[in-house]
Structure 1
Amino acid sequence: MSGTAFLLPENRAALIIRGSGFDTLAALNSVSDPWISEIRSVLTSRSAQRHGTINDVPHLWVGLQVAPPISDRAAPGPGIEIAPPGDEILLTDDLADEWTRTIKTGKSIPASPIRKNSLDHFIQWVHERAEVQQQQKPISEEHPAATEENRPIIDDEAIDRADAHAIASVLRLNRLNVPDDFESLPIDKARALAKQITRSPEARTAAEALREEERRAKEKRTERDRYPSFARRSDKGVRLDNAAVGAYIRERLHALTFNQRLFIYDRTTGLYVEDAGQVGSLIQEIAEVVEFNGSITSAKREIMSYIRDHNIAPEYPFDHYPNALPLANGVLEINWDTEIATLCPYSPEHRFTQKWPATFDASADPKPIHEVLRQYVDDEEVFALLQLPAQAILHFCGFGPFKRSYIFEGPSNGGKSTYLVDLLNRLFGAENISGASLQAIGRDRFVTSSIGSAVINRCDDLSDVPVENVGPFKALTGSFSHDIEKKFQTPYRSRVTAVHAFSTNAPPTVPDNVLFDAAFWSRWVYLRFNNVFEVDPGFVSRTFTPAAIAGLFNEVLKVAFEIRRNGRLLYEQDPGEVRAVWQSAANPFQKFVSEEMLSTQNPTLFEKGQLLRAFRAWCGANDINPRKLPSTITGFTQMIYASGFTTTRRGSKNEQEWKYEARYTWKANSRYQKSAEGIGSI
């Protein structure tokens, strides 16, 4: 075979590829040399990401054959050979003027006689040739053009030409799981299984991951090409242009400073994060590439100053984009006027620090979750369970505040935690939900820092410990702008938009001065979960699937549109009714009165000991927590005072006794009347 001879430099080696693509990949997969591993991963990644198939590129690898090298040596595997540094290789005439590949084994060196010998240029050439082949390749009548959903990541024709070992090697190179006994299967079954694997959702996910990795790798290579421009070379060595490096990093990472903390944009997640050493690492990388030989500590200090002190945000700059939501499959940009939502890629301008696990799929069905919610509360109250996350979305986008919080009361295993924890976690993400209790809001001055930019603040299983101070709660739900105070950090002003939701078996009592505070009671939606369900450990994973959550999100978004269109929440409750239900659940005596007595115009007297015995009997019949029951007449007197029962003395001057007096009388059918006969009306 004729050709043109080239002498490899002393610090470069060449990869010589022969034979079929599958044989070559299988051979590459068996070689442990680090630089072979490098080209194996890059070639596989490039071909799979660019074309969706592996077998488009191996045809080119065959075209990259070279004549036998001048010296004889053993090949590391079928289809490939290694030409060591300093060896002479013979390129075929048709490739003498084409780009080819050498592998560097040391630091970067000037270009060798083989033109464009970097890995980037080699792969670029492979892609250009592959594009031409792809355009010229006719579509087989037996295999019509595949749709995006069922197109395999490896063509069926390629699988049909390969043996089981080669197929397994290529599947693994594409990061697909291959059964341990795959290579022992009959070839027909192995090929059929391979075709099934290459059409699976897992294969498409793996291909997408490879494409994303390649995009990032290409981006990184492009960025590294800029590094030499930051170096200033002289007889004294290499120095960095610190101002230029700082400007470059600010631009690349979209850096900004808030409250003396540096934040950067993570292009992998699409989110802003606080710098945790990434900036210093990038400075170090630039310095090493340009062979900087000055004081890296001093350089980092000065460059960090250029970065930190340039773009300073006076207010908290994150998570309040007015018409966008950070979903798992992209940013959902919303036109609130036309009520049209469009999925877009993440970008620095959104300035999100959180990503919700829900996905947007306009075709997803909301009925499955809707049917679940109907099992928890009455039909007319299902809307309230949709309104809570809809209100959270509106608050997140800056609409409101709507000054409404939610409390769910009911027995254990009634669905409260399933809704409040499991369902909302799959909608918004547990990391985006805070956990401050109603009592903590009233007493903890650092509570706003724990809530922060959470979408929802919830407390599952709110205790019945009395709430001592409701002022901070009313202030927190009355506006978005609050002071954020963290221990050992400078306080700052920011938005707190979380919707508050609590579940409880019995709500906490509130101070007496709150009983007639309309501003407090008007801030609540009180729902009772009346049903009790058998424990089913698999219910959540079986029911709250990604598709079902996408359907729920569609329904919640519809409710959000409706609320904004009307300018108010659509499910509300009368504050007086909320207070009555709350007090009844928080104070069992109030519930006892509402079930066993009727209100009257005239006051009635009750024997103190007899009324206490009747109440205890009722509590025993209604499974009231014994901790809720007073142990003394004095404690009982304090409990019933909130229900309008006072003490008075009645009788002759020398025989007066203390009685309870209230504008209630026993219901005619109350079975507790005999154990607490009143003295009568007065």
Structure 2
Amino acid sequence: MARNPGSGGAGMNEAVTIPPAVIRKNEFLKRFNSVPYDREVDTEDINADLAELALMNPAFFDMFNKGPENWTFADISEVIKILAGTYPKWSINRILETYCYGGKAWGELEEPTKLSLIESAINTAEQKDWIEAKNTDGIPLEFDGLYELHRTKEGDVKKVVLYNEEIADKIRRELNTLAFKDQLYVYSEGVYVEGEALVKAEIARTVKAIKAAKKGSNASVRGADAEIMYYIRYDAPHMKYPFNLHPDMIPVNNGIIRLNFETGLPELIPFSPKWLFNYKIPTDFNPNASSKPIDNVLRSYVDEVDLKVLYQIPAQALLQVMGRGPYKKCYLLQGRKDAGKSSYLELLYRTFGIENKSDVPLNELATGEHKFKLARLVGKLHNIHDELPNFPLKETGTLKRLLGAYSHDVEVKGRQPFSAFITAVLVFACNTPPKITNNDVKRDEAFWDKWEYVLFPNSFEKRDRFYEETFTPENLSGFLHNVIAAALRIGREGKLLKETDGPDVKDKWAKCSEPVYQFISKNMERSRYPTYFLKGDMLDILIKWGNDENLEDDIPQSKEALSKILKICGVTEAKLTGKDSGIQSPVYVFPYKWKEDSKYKADIKEFELKREQAKFN
């Protein structure tokens, strides 16, 4: 029980009620980590002050609930604004250094960066107060020095003279404007975005607020806006493409990841206009997030040999947007309906941003008929097209040029052709790959070397809320961490995780583009022992399957045509003697056996043969 420590006889042994505020303050100090001892700061007073600030400021209290070791740069900026009302800059730095000792967000920053962040956060808070204050003429103080007022003898404002160049300087400085090819950009939330409309709005706000000092004027911005915009646009325009030129940096939702390809370690640093990024991945970098939930899903989609490709695709996109490479690989994802292809693509959209991908199908990139479509790829991480149509491949030159370099001449309707930087990784998904009918394409080894073919062999039942339950922010961070690890490995070793030889890709493509091979893969499996079928019986069963799958036009209607396709699938021909009939018959020799769940197994009888047989060539 607490006792009164004061002197005097009366009440020496009486119980004293501790004020509720003191109880709350003591509970706060017990509940949260206090600033550890530091001989350069008075930690006892600081802990008491922080407790009082937190109890008076709900937003600050929430920060403590989150845990200082988990504070992001955005959180720290808010904390600085609150501390600025009580402590000088140097003291704020010491407090953050000691209080955030359990986390890396503050402790690993260089000293000039820390002080710059403190100053920026304080200036933002001070600027808000400055903007709200006005002078005697009703003009906000933030516009001091941007105008001159001419007055009558009575002191009324009769004329407002705008300093347009100074106004342009202020807007350019505060919005961090950047001009490139007549396009204006402004800095917002860590990246540069198209901002002409925002610049015009700020010009209008500024001019109207100043002109309002002249009573009875209509505060029109006409005339002034064009001159101010001219100063902003043409003060120091960039002549070369200015964005995303750092070979070791990736902007994400909570900062910039700097990759160290020598150590294989990523580091999170704060956003800054000086980095000049015009894209951002909408996922937090969190090295503590588990990668297992997404990794387990991906393992269920593909065989082990193709798992690394599912990480390689986005890793290649990150490396290429940093200017590394080009790695000269594009990707075809093939599998039946509900095989997981679309879910994998959804994972890419949610992790790397739907705004960072284009959607141009292969048949519109591989021909010159759609020349305006190429411009859609500019500034994108991926070009992803799901449900690729089954079209015959005829031309490969455009695709090879696109994969072989980053600089391309593109055309946009109504504009002159211009040179653009295209680094997007090309990803296409299909149930059946495009057929290879053109002999030039078949013989083009350089074309086939550009592809990685990923088969999704399984089928899954649809599950409500699968995306919401699986693709959570934390799980996406875990997936991103694995992708970054893959990018670091590729960058360090100078080669992709998997590079299949062109002939193997072509062989797999040829098989999978044939409906006959689809029938085999869905209904049969590899076997050590061959299975024999009469040619006519196999033709009949394939025609039946084609009708069931609405592929009747794609199934060969003669044994001669069927034999050519089955040869691609590894099926041979023979003339063998039947076990019971003793008559030689033309048969197909399948290196497969029926799957137990095939509904066509019962519709065809296997050919039984005598022991001594002669092959038919």
Q: Bin the TM-score by the shorter chain.
A: 0.5 to 0.7
For the 8 Å contact 2:511–2:568, the answer to whether it is kept is no
Moved more, 244-253 or 665-674: 665-674
- Distance in 1, matches of 2:548 and 2:332, equals 20
Partner of 1:146: 32
For the 8 Å contact 1:391–1:402, the answer to whether it is kept is yes
Query: Residue type of the partner of 2:324?
Result: F
TM-score (normalizing by structure 1) = 0.61
**2:269 pairs with 334, 338, 344, which one?**
344
**1:438 pairs with 362, 372, 381, which one?**
362
- Distance in 2, matches of 1:639 and 1:447, equals 40
**2:484 pairs with 554, 557, 562, which one?**
557
Q: Any idea what SS the aligned residue of 1:334 has?
A: strand
Deviations 1:263-296 (A, max 9, x none): 2222xx2221212422222222222343366862
Say if 2:180 is the partner of 1:258.
Answer: yes
Query: Residue type of the partner of 2:414?
Result: F
User: Structure 1 residues 631 and 572, CA, compared in 2 at 3 Å: closer, same or farther?
Assistant: closer
Matches within 5 A, 1:178-577: 199=65, 216=124, 218-222=126-130, 225-235=141-151, 237-266=159-188, 269-291=189-211, 296-421=221-346, 423-443=347-367, 444-512=370-438, 513-577=440-504
Q: Any idea what SS the aligned residue of 1:469 has?
A: coil
- Distance in 2, matches of 1:560 and 1:419, equals 18
Partner of 2:588: 666
- Distance in 2, matches of 1:142 and 1:496, equals 54
For the 8 Å contact 1:407–1:502, the answer to whether it is kept is yes
For the 8 Å contact 2:515–2:555, the answer to whether it is kept is no
C-alpha root-mean-square deviation of aligned residues, in Å?
4.4
For the 8 Å contact 1:319–1:453, the answer to whether it is kept is no
For the 8 Å contact 1:590–1:640, the answer to whether it is kept is no
For the 8 Å contact 1:456–1:501, the answer to whether it is kept is yes
For the 8 Å contact 1:271–1:351, the answer to whether it is kept is yes
- Distance in 2, matches of 1:668 and 1:331, equals 56
- Distance in 2, matches of 1:474 and 1:378, equals 28
Q: Percent identity?
A: 29
Partner of 1:95: none
Query: Residue type of the partner of 1:556?
Result: V
Query: Residue type of the partner of 1:480?
Result: Y
Query: Residue type of the partner of 2:203?
Result: I
For the 8 Å contact 1:258–1:313, the answer to whether it is kept is yes
Partner of 1:579: 506
- Distance in 1, matches of 2:357 and 2:541, equals 42
Deviations 1:338-370 (A, max 9, x none): 333221222212222222122112222222222
**Cα deviation, residue 667, structure 1:** 1.6
User: Structure 1 residues 477 and 222, CA, compared in 2 at 3 Å: closer, same or farther?
Assistant: farther
For the 8 Å contact 1:315–1:493, the answer to whether it is kept is no
User: Structure 1 residues 314 and 672, CA, compared in 2 at 3 Å: closer, same or farther?
Assistant: farther
**Cα deviation, residue 469, structure 1:** 2.6
Matches within 5 A, 1:637-676: 666-667=588-589
Moved more, 283-292 or 452-461: 283-292
Deviations 1:94-131 (A, max 9, x none): xxxxxxxxxxxxxxxxxxxxxxxxxxxxxxxxxxxxxx
For the 8 Å contact 2:29–2:51, the answer to whether it is kept is no
- Which runs of 5 or more structure 2 residues have no equivalent in the other structure? 1-20, 36-46, 83-120, 132-139, 152-157, 525-533, 570-585, 593-603, 608-614
Matches within 5 A, 1:575-654: 575-589=502-516, 614-615=538-539, 617-618=541-542, 620-621=544-545, 625-627=549-551, 629-630=553-554
Deviations 1:585-615 (A, max 9, x none): 112356789999xxxxxxxxxxxxx968744
- Distance in 2, matches of 1:418 and 1:538, equals 12
User: Structure 1 residues 503 and 393, CA, compared in 2 at 3 Å: closer, same or farther?
Assistant: same
Number of residue pairs the alignment of both structures matches: 479
Q: Any idea what SS the aligned residue of 1:297 has?
A: coil
**Cα deviation, residue 455, structure 1:** 0.7
Q: Any idea what SS the aligned residue of 1:277 has?
A: helix
Q: Any idea what SS the aligned residue of 1:472 has?
A: helix
For the 8 Å contact 2:25–2:51, the answer to whether it is kept is no
- Distance in 2, matches of 1:460 and 1:322, equals 30
For the 8 Å contact 1:616–1:629, the answer to whether it is kept is no
- Distance in 2, matches of 1:484 and 1:271, equals 24
Q: Any idea what SS the aligned residue of 2:469 has?
A: helix
For the 8 Å contact 1:255–1:311, the answer to whether it is kept is no
For the 8 Å contact 1:139–1:145, the answer to whether it is kept is no
Deviations 1:516-569 (A, max 9, x none): 111111111111111111211222222222222222222211211111111111
- Distance in 1, matches of 2:223 and 2:461, equals 65
User: Structure 1 residues 225 and 619, CA, compared in 2 at 3 Å: closer, same or farther?
Assistant: farther
For the 8 Å contact 1:272–1:352, the answer to whether it is kept is yes
- Distance in 2, matches of 1:616 and 1:356, equals 53
- Distance in 1, matches of 2:150 and 2:452, equals 73
- Distance in 1, matches of 2:81 and 2:420, equals 36
Q: Any idea what SS the aligned residue of 2:205 has?
A: helix
- Distance in 1, matches of 2:27 and 2:520, equals 82
**Cα deviation, residue 445, structure 1:** 0.8
For the 8 Å contact 2:539–2:557, the answer to whether it is kept is no
Query: Residue type of the partner of 1:339?
Result: G
User: Structure 1 residues 221 and 304, CA, compared in 2 at 3 Å: closer, same or farther?
Assistant: farther
For the 8 Å contact 2:543–2:557, the answer to whether it is kept is no
Query: Residue type of the partner of 2:509?
Result: W
- Distance in 2, matches of 1:446 and 1:639, equals 42
- Distance in 1, matches of 2:53 and 2:171, equals 47
- Distance in 1, matches of 2:418 and 2:129, equals 40
